[in-house]
Amino acid sequence: MTRLLPRALMAPAVVTLFLWMIVPLCMTLYFSVIQFNLLQPDQRAFVGLENFLYFATDPSFTTAVLNTLLLLGSVIGITVVGGTAIALLTHEPFAGRGIVRVLLISPFFVMPTVNALLWKNMMMNPIYGVLAQVWQAFGAAPVDWLTDHPLASVVVMVSWQWLPFATLILMTALQSLDREQMEAARMDGARWLQQQRHLVLPHLARPITVVVMIEMIFLLSVFAEIHTTTGGGPGDASTNVAYLIFKQALLKFDAGVASAGALFAVVLANIAAVFLIRMAGNSLER
């Protein structure tokens, strides 16, 4: 009875998720070894690993993998560092803290497409964009963000979206920081910075893992922002793996290669996740 009940309760979630994972996965596996272009549905020969080979030999492949990792790394870096800083800044009460919080978390509610359009058109446009105006106001030549720093621009947009998320989680985590620990450190002669470094940061280790994990899942599959703004370019300067797959699937309509790419992405994600998940798992359990 006590063994059956939990299983029965978990069954719906486990079964649906299993199906949700396994059915597309199997189909993807199948597609990945046949020649399957949506535009030529009649030619479905078995091609073995050719699709994988084709995907992996794409001239943009290396760049895409690097960009994926770069995007992942920098957004996580920015959001964690920025989020921690903002959380610390807004930790103790001050005038209008409620409003400040509302303003801070708003970007999280913005759809990725709107986010991309907003930045591309109204912020980063080299002629009308707000940034260009600001640059000009200071007498500098406006920067053509999307052309000259395409990946950095994408990083900015994505970070803008996820920074509030990190802030929110870290902000709440700070509230559970033991006050007496901080006081003990003060008694031990620690100054503000030392308190942050020796106590606050270690305390935030766990929420930071949470942030990193959730963000990783979403960041590995960023493509709306790229598609809407740089289209992966110039060249392949802002192409990531998800966008590469997107191109295969919805531009070339090559479901075979796209499937191979998707499987590759799963592998990539798992490699990135394995040590992360271990870390998170441990820190979640403590």
Annotate each residue in 114-133 with x if it binds other proteins (CB under 8 A) or - if it does not, as one string.
x--xxxxxxx-xxxx-x--x
- Lookup: tokens for 116: 């991309």
CB 150 within 8 A of CB 233: yes
Based on the shown chain and the rule CB under 8 A, indicate whether residue 48 belongs to the binding site for other proteins: no
Strand-pairing partners, residue 34, are 46
Annotate each residue in 261-280 with x if it binds other proteins (CB under 8 A) or - if it does not, as one string.
xxx-xx--xx--x---x---
Tell me phi and psi for residue 21, to 5 degrees: -85, -45
Binding test (CB under 8 A) with other proteins, winner from 173, 200, 212, 219: 173
Binding test (CB under 8 A) with other proteins, winner from 168, 200, 212, 226: 168
Based on the shown chain and the rule CB under 8 A, indicate whether residue 34 belongs to the binding site for other proteins: no
Please report, for residues 172, 175, 235, the alpha-carbon distance to residue 146 in angstroms, rounded to integers and kept in the order given. 35, 39, 12
Based on the shown chain and the rule CB under 8 A, indicate whether residue 149 belongs to the binding site for other proteins: no
Contacts (CB under 8 A) with other proteins, residues 85-104: 86, 89-90, 92, 94-97, 99-104
Shortest Å distance, C-beta 95 to other proteins: 6
Distance CA 222, CA 55 (A): 19
Binding test (CB under 8 A) with other proteins, winner from 158, 183, 193, 279: 183
Shortest Å distance, C-beta 73 to other proteins: 17
What's the Rg (C-alpha) of the chain? 23
Q: Which of 232, 80, 247 is nearest to 168 (CA)?
A: 80
Shortest Å distance, C-beta 62 to other proteins: 14
Based on the shown chain and the rule CB under 8 A, indicate whether residue 81 belongs to the binding site for other proteins: no
Apex 59 CA angle, 55 and 62, nearest 5 = 80
Binding test (CB under 8 A) with other proteins, winner from 63, 75, 164, 215: 164
Contacts (CB under 8 A) with other proteins, residues 14-33: 14, 16-17, 20-21, 23-25, 27-28, 31
Based on the shown chain and the rule CB under 8 A, indicate whether residue 234 belongs to the binding site for other proteins: yes
Binding test (CB under 8 A) with other proteins, winner from 10, 49, 81, 140: 10
Based on the shown chain and the rule CB under 8 A, indicate whether residue 250 belongs to the binding site for other proteins: yes
Nearer of residues 41 and 77 to other proteins, judged by Cβ: 41
Number of residues that bind other proteins (CB under 8 A): 143
Based on the shown chain and the rule CB under 8 A, indicate whether residue 108 belongs to the binding site for other proteins: yes
Burial class (CB in 10 A: 0-12, 13-18, 19+), 155: buried
